[in-house]
Structure 1
Amino acid sequence: MSAAVFSWPVRVYYEDTDAGGVVYHANYLKFMERARSEWIRDLGFCLEQVSADLGVVFVVRSSNLEYLRPARLSEMLRVEVSPAAVGRASLTLDQVVRAEGGQACVTATIGLVCVDAITFRPAALPQQIRDAFNQYGEDVR
């Protein structure tokens, strides 16, 4: 799936770094989560309303990260999100955390599953969410 890219700014704060002054590896996952949440909001959905109105939530099923260069205290980063594949109840996203100059710090493939908000069993992606994904790439119906 070829897709447009959503980008979200993140500044590195002291709390994000380790004793060496670089972003602690697990914090990149937090940055990516924030960008995914803002991407969904940019598509016109609030995650709380998706759960309440549509009865589904998204859970991370898998994550594969490659660390390429360290990010440091006070650095401004851009966290990118783009859909790579959409299934009946799943979504694979490509994410990149970039430094100010555009160099990739971390690349990731994140697998999400749409599940029923009560039973946590897989559930089909709601059509209105599928329709919104279309602005980021090929038709995903």
Structure 2
Amino acid sequence: MLISTLPIRIYYEDTDAGGIVYYANYLKFFERGRTEFLREYDIQQDTLLQQNIAFVVKKVEMDCIKAARFNQLIDVETEVTSYRKASLMFTQKIFNESRELLCQADTLIACVNLQKMKPNAIPTEIIEVITRAS
């Protein structure tokens, strides 16, 4: 499977008063990781939006294991672990500089037609990119 890694520095704005990353911000890091994954493999979301196609989060299962802290450099690893006609399953992990696992999530992404707000088959060219790595 394809894997993408995004380095992110933890800023003060990402943390609570104790300098620990606020749990909801992990979702933002995962979102950035998925966006960069698609960009890295030349899947342009702005082009899809012009075609009234979007990827939306349907379900997230997240496990916070260890705290990330202010000024740490983390890596967000993203991979597509399965797909169906109109959905992608992303598995994502956040590691600190020592490669300790801090947080992980499985996120189900639905492909939708924005005009109809109904499921849409994932474009063939995206499936081809994903299956080339399998």
Task: Tell whether the structures are fold-level matches, with TM greater than 0.5.
Answer: yes
TM-score (norm 2): 0.95
SS in 1 for 2:71: coil
- Percent identity of the aligned residues? 32
Partner in structure 2 of residue 105 of structure 1: 102
Where does the alignment leave 5 or more consecutive residues of structure 1 unmatched?
A: none
Q: Residues of 1 paired with 2:44 and 2:30: CA distance?
A: 17
Q: Residues of 2 paired with 1:120 and 1:101: CA distance?
A: 43
Q: Structure 1 residue 130: deviation in Å?
A: 0.6
TM-score (norm 1): 0.91
- Amino acid in the other structure paired with 1:134: T
Runs of 4+ aligned structure 1 residues displaced above 3 Å come to none
User: Over aligned residues, Cα RMSD in angstroms?
Assistant: 1.0
Matches of residues 21-60 of structure 1 in structure 2 within 5 Å?
Answer: 21-52=19-50, 54-60=51-57
- Amino acid in the other structure paired with 2:26: Y
Q: Residues of 1 paired with 2:44 and 2:59: CA distance?
A: 23
Q: Residues of 2 paired with 1:67 and 1:43: CA distance?
A: 28
